[in-house]
Amino acid sequence: MVKVRTKDIIEKFNLELVSGEEGINRPITTTDISRPGIEIAGYFEYYPAERLQLLGKTELSFFEKLNPADRKTRMERLCTDITPGIVISRSMDVPEELIEASERESVPVLRSTIKSTRLSSHLTNYLESKLAPTTAVHGVLVDIYGVGVLITGKSGVGKSETALELVKRGHRLVADDCVEIRQEDQDTLVGTSPELIEHLLEIRGLGIINVMTLFGAGSVRTHKRISLVIHLELWDQTKTYDRLGLDEEKMKIIDTEVTKLTVPVRPGRNLAVIIEVAAMNFRLKRMGMNAAEQFTSKLSDAIIDGDHEDR
Please give the positions annotated as active site: 138, 159, 177, 243
User: Residue 154 annotated as binding?
Assistant: yes
User: Residue 157 annotated as binding?
Assistant: yes
Closest Cα partner for 194 from 253, 243, 241, 134?
134
3-state secondary structure of 246: coil
User: Residue 156 annotated as binding?
Assistant: yes
| Distance from C-alpha of 81 to C-alpha of 108, rounded to nearest angstrom | 11
* Element of type H or E holding 203: strand 200-203
Residue 148 zone, left/alpha/beta (φ > 0; ψ -120 to 50; rest): beta
Q: Report the amino acid identity of residue 227.
A: S
User: Residue 139 annotated as binding?
Assistant: no
**C-beta separation of 230 from 249 below 8 A:** no
Residues 6 or more apart in contact with residue 213 via CB below 8 angstroms = 199
Q: Report the amino acid identity of residue 14.
A: N
User: Residue 159 annotated as binding?
Assistant: yes
Main-chain phi, psi angles of 264, to 5 degrees: -75, 140
User: Residue 121 annotated as binding?
Assistant: no
| Distance from C-alpha of 180 to C-alpha of 134, rounded to nearest angstrom | 7
Main-chain phi, psi angles of 96, to 5 degrees: -60, -35
Residues annotated in the binding site for ATP, as ranges? 153-160
Residues annotated in the binding site, as ranges? 153-160, 202
Residues annotated in the binding site for Mg(2+), as ranges? 160, 202
